[in-house]
Amino acid sequence: MRKHIFNAGPCKLPDETLENVSKAVLELGNTGQSILEVSHRSPDFQAVHDEAVNLFKEVLGIPGGYSVLFLGGGASLQFCMIPFNFLKTKAAYVNTGTWSTAAIKEAKMWGEVNVIASSEADGFTYYPEFTIPSDVDYAHVTSNNTIRGTEIFKDLASPVPLICDMSSDICSRPVDVSKYAMIYGGAQKNLGPAGVTFVIIKNDLLDRVVADRMIPTMLRYKTHVDKESMYNTPPCVNIFAVKETLRWIKSLGGLKEMERRAIERADMIYNELERSKLFRPVVKEGSRSRMNIPFLLREGHEALEKEFLDFAKARNIVGIKGHRSVGGFRASTYNACTIEDVKVLVTAMQEFAAKH
């Protein structure tokens, strides 16, 4: 039986993605070859890649003048590639938790980092307000903080190229891509399996590469833009899986529908957390993520943590143990998470509270 999966990443994927990847592992179309075997230079794989790129452009509404890349290395490699390519003297970063802290650490190797806002002093429990300065090479934000459970839903205007880590909320709402010079993320939170990183990059950002810096070939964005992700062997199976998820998103009505579902799921959990006598939300209202919902036991009940995890496990709920830096629990409610999954979780919370 399929579990109710609330993993933070790798995450639950649509049944359609799993079924079609399984079929392609046995045979890709009528090629007589598995997707594991087919040459990345073959027309058969080229068609898979092109469909993934085109669906991404269509679903997200990516305007002309942008390239879509599927690379290896995870979002974490982007933390270093971004400053390596674009940080000449100074960059602005918003610090909203673990992942942006990691991005800042890498940027500091290449220049000055202006942390324009941070919610660190308050345990990253809200999304801070900020103004993007114009005297920096670029600004970097993390739209959804997977660990802390905060999210910003606005696409901000910026006087400098705006770069966004959208690892964990990509394709969960309509986005005005034109506001960004680059959007990137690991696919394993909302689009596909681990092992492929998506990069949506405005082509004219490439003109801003630090001119007098030696950048290894694989770490240059231009290498991958020029070769359309085929400079080296791309993660073929993962790209296939992303394509399937994008097909699924499109078939359901696109990002408006993903957003409607995300709001429905998140509201159901936050409402329960607000009214529960046993559980409470961590994040302040106004900053609450629709994708990752950390929650704690109310004061005096902390000792029940292990018991609730076992209680949930017995109901086929997996992945709700909180991140070690926050504790308690975290429900990750990505695109493929169904309202039925959420109902099972909320019912478990209610039954557990009634028991205590």
Ligand X SMILES: *Cc1c(COP(=O)(O)O)cnc(C)c1O
| Residue 192 sits in the site that holds ligand X (CB under 6 A) | no
Of 303, 314, 309, 350, nearest in space to 330 by CA: 309
- Reference 146, options 122, 170, 121; nearest CA is 170
Nearer to ligand X, 210 or 219 (CB): 219
Q: Does 276 bind ligand X (CB under 6 A)?
A: no
Residues facing 288 on adjacent strands: 150
Considering beta carbons, is residue 142 or 172 the nearer one to ligand X? 142
Is the bond leading into 174 cis (omega within 30 degrees of zero)?
no
- Shortest reach from residue 144's CB to ligand X, in Å: 6
Among 168, 238, 332, 335, binds ligand X (CB under 6 A): 168
Q: Give the C-alpha separation, 181 to 228, whole Å.
A: 18
CB of 7 or CB of 17, closer to ligand X: 7
Does the protein bind ligand X through residue 189 (CB under 6 A)?
A: yes
Q: Can residue 99 be called a binding residue for ligand X (CB under 6 A)? A: yes
Sign of CA dihedral 66, 71, 76, 82: negative
70 within 8 A of 197, measured Cβ to Cβ: yes
- The answer to whether residue 165 is catalytic is yes
Under 8 Å between Cβ of 158 and 137: no
The reply on whether position 76 binds ligand X by CB under 6 A is yes
Contacts 24+ apart (CB under 8 A), 218-223: 219/80, 219/81, 219/84, 219/85, 220/85, 221/69, 221/81, 221/85
Nearer CB in complex with ligand X: 191/349 = 191
Q: Quick check: is 189 catalytic?
A: yes
Residue 224 interacts with ligand X (CB under 6 A): yes or no = no
Q: Single out the residue of 151, 155, 165, 341 in contact with ligand X (rule: CB under 6 A).
A: 165
Q: Count residues binding ligand X (CB under 6 A).
A: 12
Question: Where do contacts with ligand X occur on this chain (CB under 6 A)?
Answer: 9, 74-76, 99, 142, 146, 165, 167-168, 186, 189
User: Which positions are catalytic?
Assistant: 99, 165, 189
